[in-house]
Structure 1
């Protein structure tokens, strides 16, 4: 089943409809999955298909997608809320590497915390339902080369 159909089923299961405007927002997120878009970026991209769509509709739709656990709202320390689709292939969100110098954001799809979750269940009787892990640091390519976060630096890393 394709992801839009799967998301449509998730909407229906909670008595919501995947309207054409909502679907356009979902498709923008799917088409730009690795970019971790902000509300404003989603808005600018979706306006190409729906020029009369308002920013408030994009905000409300993204919040609903968060509420339905289809999208995760994240802040990587830059003060901007970004949205990340939850993958069908993992129970939990993926993890991120975030460079303090160039701002590059890389996803780690492996779930390294499975053993820790089992230990928490065994030792504390605590069942983890979700987790998120972000690693902040500096890529070797950004250390000592005068990188100030510009495009050339990001392309190197």
Structure 2
């Protein structure tokens, strides 16, 4: 499997004007393996550039989202979170107690969604699945 071009490379391919601070935000997002919100992205960006403002991060994230480079996710905690729009398909399980977001792929769920779409007369072009749960206590 070949690696996807970085977010920075895809920004350049779309001819987005990349200031130094926009590059910093792109690099932070490229290095993220979680689903950061703007405040988290800002904190990580400040470690690279102490002069970057939260407003700049908000504007940059909005630009990347509007350009189709980032996807906005809502996991029920009132914070918009972001992930790379080019990542391989996966679904999410959100732990309601800790806020942890677990990514998974399940072939049975994928097949069931295809069957449902076909039964209703559609070709499935995409979907989002977010499960919300509380970890079970063992021994009871």
What TM-score range do you get, normalising by the shorter chain? Answer: 0.7 to 0.9
Q: Compute the TM-score of the two structures, normalised by the length of structure 2.
A: 0.76
- Please say if residues 7 and 27 of structure 2, whose CA atoms lie closer than 8 Å, have aligned partners that are also in contact: no
Q: Measured at CA, do residues 65 and 127 of structure 1 come closer, stay the same or move farther in structure 2, by a change above 3 Å?
A: same
Distance in 2 (CA, whole Å) between partners of 1:143 and 1:80 is 34
Unmatched tracts of structure 1, length 5 or more: 145-157
Q: Deviations over 1:102-123 (max 9, x none)?
A: 3322111456425634763675
Distance in 2 (CA, whole Å) between partners of 1:26 and 1:142 is 42
Does the residue aligned with 2:132 lie in a helix, a strand or coil? Answer: strand
The answer as to 2:130 corresponding to 1:103 is: no
Unmatched tracts of structure 2, length 5 or more: none
- Report the alpha carbon displacement of residue 69 of structure 1 after superposing the two structures with TM: 2.3
- Report the alpha carbon displacement of residue 7 of structure 1 after superposing the two structures with TM: 2.8
1:24-103 superposed matches below 5 A: 24-34=24-34, 36-88=35-87, 90=88, 92=89, 94-103=90-99
Distance in 2 (CA, whole Å) between partners of 1:76 and 1:123 is 28
- Report the alpha carbon displacement of residue 141 of structure 1 after superposing the two structures with TM: 4.3
- Please say if residues 94 and 101 of structure 2, whose CA atoms lie closer than 8 Å, have aligned partners that are also in contact: yes
What's the Cα RMSD here?
2.9
Distance in 2 (CA, whole Å) between partners of 1:51 and 1:136 is 36
Q: Compute the TM-score of the two structures, normalised by the length of structure 1.
A: 0.69
Partner of 1:15: 15
Distance in 1 (CA, whole Å) between partners of 2:133 and 2:86 is 25
- Report the alpha carbon displacement of residue 43 of structure 1 after superposing the two structures with TM: 0.8
- Please say if residues 38 and 80 of structure 1, whose CA atoms lie closer than 8 Å, have aligned partners that are also in contact: yes
Distance in 2 (CA, whole Å) between partners of 1:17 and 1:110 is 39
